[in-house]
Every structure is written in structure tokens, then in C-alpha cells.
Amino acid sequence: MKTLYINNIPELPYYVTEALNQLRISLGFSGENVKTIMITSSTPNEGKSFITMELWKMMAEAGNRVLVIDADMRNSEMKSQWGFELKSGDCGLVHVLSGRAKIKNVVYETNIENAYIIPVEVLIPNPINLLEGNHFRELMQICRKEFDYVLIDTPPIGMVADALTIGPKTDGCLLVIRSAVTPKRAVENSFNLLERSGVPLLGMVLNRADMARKGNYYYNQYYNYGEYDGKR
């Protein structure tokens, strides 16, 4: 198995680390059958990739064998945020979904113990046909057996159909909401889309909330990890 080195690992403030740990622990209460988790948002720039990668890292540090799948094949944020580079000839998600590589050839170890990744090696404008094919379903079935958790970072659910195609093949979804920025109507639309597609909503993550403000206004149940100006 090849190794992919994660170069940009941010040092988080204590309160951010604690809130993310609460999120990790809370997910554990979802049940032992909840292993494959889609992480998405309603609109771009809400912090879903940041949440995905930090949760992946913390789960691995807690002793879980965790795989993250970069399924944002239109506009991957993970490469730029986390500073990893694929070498010429390396395979990734597009290769396995198109049948040009075996699953074992697209799963990479990382320099984070217990943390594995399937990266996007090339961006494509319309990956729906690949996501609807049998290769993606087979990928999810095999990874579910091989790992304690599988996290899937997707494009925003309110923008393109990718997340709605991926979601029904997972055990549930985390919805990332950017505090005081994401329109309430966009969040309600995301709820409706998830409900119609039959994807369980495991929880919400309220991102970049101003801890100095009282009475944050998004709903009754969410995970709030405060305001942090690091990479997302």
C-alpha cells in the first residue's frame, strides 16, 4: 500500500479540539451500525472539508481505523487544504469508479496512524454516471467491512446531485452549516432533499459560530465548535 503524506496539519485552538471531540463521541452514540458517514453542506464555503478531515484525524487518533473518501470530484478542497500530492501514475477515486483500478490500488496510508484516504486524482465536470454505477456501491460495501469508519466528503447538496446519489449508499449524513451566513431557506431545502432521498440526518455542525453572541439561531440540535479562522 502506498503512502500519501499530509503536509498541512493545522494546530487547532483548545476549544475547537474539544468541540470536535464531542462531535466524534456523539457520532459513536449513533449506533455500532453507523460506519459510513456522508459529510456535506447546503452551499459552498461552509467548512465541510475542514470538518471531514479533522474528524477523520481525531477518529484515527482515538484508535479507530478510518478511511476518508474525497468524493468532491468537481472541485476538491482537500488537496489545497491539506497539502498532499499524487505522483504520476498514482490512482484515485475516478480510476476505481471507472473500472480502471482495483480498490486496493486507490487506498493510501498516510503519515497519520490509522488514517487512510482515497483521493481524487483528476477533476471531472459531471461524475454522476460514475457515482450511479456498480463500482461505487461495491467500493462502499468493501470499505465498510475493512474500516471502523468511512467518511465521505461530497459537494454541497444544494448545488449538484452528487450528494443525493452518494447518500443512500451510506448510513447517514452530517450537515455542516456556517453560522450567520447560510440562509435558513437553504438549510430547509437540504433537510427536504435528504428526507426525500431517504438519507438519515445524524446531526448538524454549526461552523464558525461567534461564541460571544448569545442565542445563536439555528435550530435546537447542532454541534457548535466556535469560531476558528484556520483552513477549512
Question: Would you state the pLDDT for residue 50?
Answer: 92
Gap between the Cα atoms of 169 and 134, Å rounded = 11
Closest C-alpha to 69, from 145, 8, 154:
154
pLDDT above 70 for 220: no
Closest C-alpha to 64, from 55, 73, 72, 76:
55
More confident of the two residues 79 and 229: 79
What is the arithmetic mean of pLDDT over 108-126? Answer: 94
The full DSSP string for 88-138 is: TT---HHHHHTTSS-GGGT-EEESSTTEEEE---S--S--HHHHHSHHHHH
Question: Would you state the pLDDT for residue 9?
Answer: 85
Average pLDDT value over all residues in the chain: 88
Gap between the Cα atoms of 134 and 141, Å rounded = 11
pLDDT above 70 for 99: yes
Question: What are the tens digits of pLDDT across the range 35-76?
Answer: 999 999 999 999 999 999 999 999 999 999 999 999 999 999
Calculate ∠ Cα 33-187-56, nearest 5°. 40
What is the arithmetic mean of pLDDT over 136-158? Answer: 96
Q: Which fold has domain 19-224?
A: Rossmann fold (3.40.50)
Give the rounded percent of residues in the chain with a pLDDT score beyond 90: 70
pLDDT above 60 for 95: yes
Helix axis angle for 14-28 and 48-61, nearest 10°, is: 80
Q: State the pLDDT confidence band at 8, using cuts at 50, 70 and 90.
A: confident
Gap between the Cα atoms of 213 and 217, Å rounded = 10
> Strands, E, within 12-104: which ranges?
36-41, 66-70
Q: State the pLDDT confidence band at 210, using cuts at 50, 70 and 90.
A: low
Gap between the Cα atoms of 168 and 154, Å rounded = 13
